[in-house]
Amino acid sequence: MNPAALDPKSLKSFDEFYPFYLSEHSNRICRRLHFAGSTLALLCLAAAITLAAPLFILLGLLCGYGFAWLGHFGFEKNKPASFKRPLWSFMGDWVMYRDIWLGRIPL
């Protein structure tokens, strides 16, 4: 069955969810925006810790989700899975981020 045709709430584990998550990120620009947003979020987290400035955490969340949602609504033309499976979507963001760095997923 096509993972994109699934309802993410019907999936029972993250291992089942991740192929669905990847199918929702087939557009290269969407993946690039996710990657940029995640990188900026990490930099904001580092700044929050280094500078003891917790407002950078809020900025990091805005960067991470803002870039991702721009990718979904503007380029992928789908609704982010974070609306139905927020925890698994958050986990999927970081697994995809790692997989991009490892060359498993093209950027």
The pLDDT value given to residue 57: 97
Under 8 Å CB-to-CB from 36, ≥6 apart: which residues?
67
Instruction: Output the pLDDT for position 17.
Output: 95
Q: What is the pLDDT of residue 82?
A: 86
Task: Return the C-alpha torsion angle 16, 29, 62, 18, nearest 10.
Answer: 10
pLDDT at 51: 98
Q: Where are the alpha helices (DSSP H) in the chain?
A: 14-23, 28-51, 55-71, 86-101
The pLDDT score that the predictor gives to residue 5 is 63
At residue 12, the 3 state secondary structure works out as coil
Average pLDDT for runs of 10 along the chain of length 107 = 70 95 96 98 98 98 96 95 91 98 97
Domain ranges of the chain: 23-101
